[in-house]
Amino acid sequence: MTAVWAELNLVVADQFRDGNVPANFAPLPVAQAAFAALPPTGQEYSYRGDSACHEHELLSWLRNPARQSGPAGCIGFAISARMSLALAAAIHAVPDPVWQPYTVPGKAADELRDWADVPFVPSEASEQRDPEPLRSVAVRVRPRQGELVADGTTVTHVAILSNLWEWDGARLLQWHREKAGTIEHVHDVVKHELAGGVFPCGRFGANAAWLRLALLAHNVLPCSATIRIAG
C-alpha cells in the first residue's frame, strides 16, 4: 500500500504486505503515516483512494476534525465505493430525470455517462451506520447503441463516497479520477522502470527493503531532473 503527495509526486508512506492480505486491510496506519510526513505548514488537506480505502476505521478518522495522529480540521475526501447489494439497489432506484450528463475527457465517444447523488444509508451488518451519512455519487455508463457491456448488461454503475457536499457532482468525480494520474503512474514507474515489480528473493524483509529502495529512487528522480534543468 502506497500513499503519494499528488502535488509533488512524492511517495510519503508505504507498507509492504503479505500476498494474502486483503486490499482493504487496515489502511488507516498508512494514511496516518502519510499525513504525518507532510510539512506542518499545510493549511488544507484532502484524500483520494480506491475501493481498498472503503473501510470504516479510515473513513471515521477522515471525518473526525479532532482526529488523533493527524492534522486537525477538515480533510475533504473521495473514495471509490465497494458496490454492495444495498448500494446497487439504491442506485437503480434513482429516477431517470435525476441523472445528469457527465463528460470524461479521453473516454470513448460511443458511451453515455451520467452522474447522480444517491440517497443511501448502509443496511448490511458489515457496514457501519453513522449519524450523518456520507455523500454517495454514482456514475451510470451506457453504450450509445445499446450493446451489451462485458458483463452482459446494458448499463454499468460505479460510485464514490465523499464528505464534500458543496461540490458539484461532476467536479467531485473528476477530482477523484485525477488520482489515476498520480498513484497509478507511480506504480508503473516503480514496477517497470525501477525494478520494484521483480523481487530478489523469497524473504519478506529483504523484499520489503527492495521495494522501499525503489520508492526512494522514485522520490529522488524528480529532484535530480529539476537540478539538471536548472543547471
Q: Strand, coil or helix: what is 230?
A: helix
pLDDT at 228: 43
pLDDT at 170: 94
pLDDT at 123: 61
Specify whether the CB–CB gap between 4 and 186 falls below 8 A: yes
Residue written as grid cell 508503473? 188
Task: Give pLDDT < 70 ranges for the chain.
Answer: 106-109, 123-131, 145-153, 222-231
For 61-70, the pLDDT digits (tens) are 999 999 999 9
b/e map 119-131, b = 16+ CB within 10 Å: ebebeeeeeeeee
Specify whether the CB–CB gap between 4 and 190 falls below 8 A: no
The reported pTM is: 0.84
Question: At a CB cut-off of 8 Å and minimum separation 6, what does 197 contact?
Answer: 190, 191
Specify whether the CB–CB gap between 164 and 78 falls below 8 A: yes
pLDDT at 180: 75
DSSP 8-state assignment for residue 93 = T
pLDDT at 155: 87
For 133-180, the pLDDT digits (tens) are 899 999 998 887 666 556 566 788 999 999 999 999 999 999 999 887
b/e map 10-34, b = 16+ CB within 10 Å: bbbbbbbeeeeeeebeebbebbbbb
Question: Domain boundaries in the chain?
Answer: 2-192
The torsion angles phi and psi of 197, rounded to 5 degrees, stand at -95, -5
